[in-house]
Structure 1
Amino acid sequence: MAQFGPSMELRQDCDDEGLFASYRCIPGQSCHCLSKTAPEYLERPTSLRFPKCSRDYEEAKEIIGKDLVPSQHFRCDSNGDYDAVQCIGEQCLCVDTSDGAPTYPGDALVNLTLISNETLKCYRGKKDGIYYNKCEAEYIEILNEVNGFLEEGYDMIFAYSFPKCDIDGTYSAVQENSTHKICVDKEGVALTAVDKVENTTIADAMDCRCIRAHSVISSREAPTCDLNGNYSPIQCRRGVCRCVDNDGIQVCTSVPCEVDENDKDTLTCLQ
Structure 2
Amino acid sequence: MFLAGPSKCELERFTAASSGDVLVPSCDDRGQYRPLQCQRGGQCWCVDARGREIYGTRSAGEPPSCSEGQGCIFKRRQALSRLFYGPVGYFRQHSLFKEQSKVSGSTETSPKHCSSYLQELFATSGLLSYVGQRQEVNQSKIVPVLSEAIQGLFPSRKLGTTALQLTSSAKRFQQNLFGGKFLKNLSGFNFTGSIGQRGKLNFSQFFEQVGLQGMYSGGNFVELAKLFSPEDNSYLTKESLGFSKDTFNLDQTISDNFGHRVNLQENQNMLAALSSLLEQKEFLTLMQHVTSVPESIAVDLTDVIKAVLELQECDEASSEIFVPTCTNDGRYDEVQCLAGECWCVDASGNEILGSKIFGKHPKCPTECEKTRDRLNTIKKSQPANSELFVPSCTSDGAFLPVQCAGKKCFCVDLEGRSLPGTESAAGEPYQCPSACQLTAGQSFLQMVQVLLSSPATLPQFSSVYIPQCKADGGWRAVQCNGPTEQAFDWYQAWVSQNNAGKDVPLMDIINEIMEYKKTSAQDFAVFVGRLYGAGHQNVFPIFSKYATFDSIPSGVLEGNFTSESDNILLNPYIFWRLLNGSSSRYPGSYRDFNLPYGHFELRNCWCVDEDGMEIQGTRAEINKIPKCR
Tell me the TM-score normalized by structure 1. Answer: 0.41
Structure with higher strand content:
1
Structure with higher helix content:
2
Higher relative contact order (CA closer than 8 Å, sequence separation 6+): 1
From the CA coordinates, give the structure whose radius of gyration is larger. Answer: 2
Tell me the TM-score normalized by structure 2. Answer: 0.20
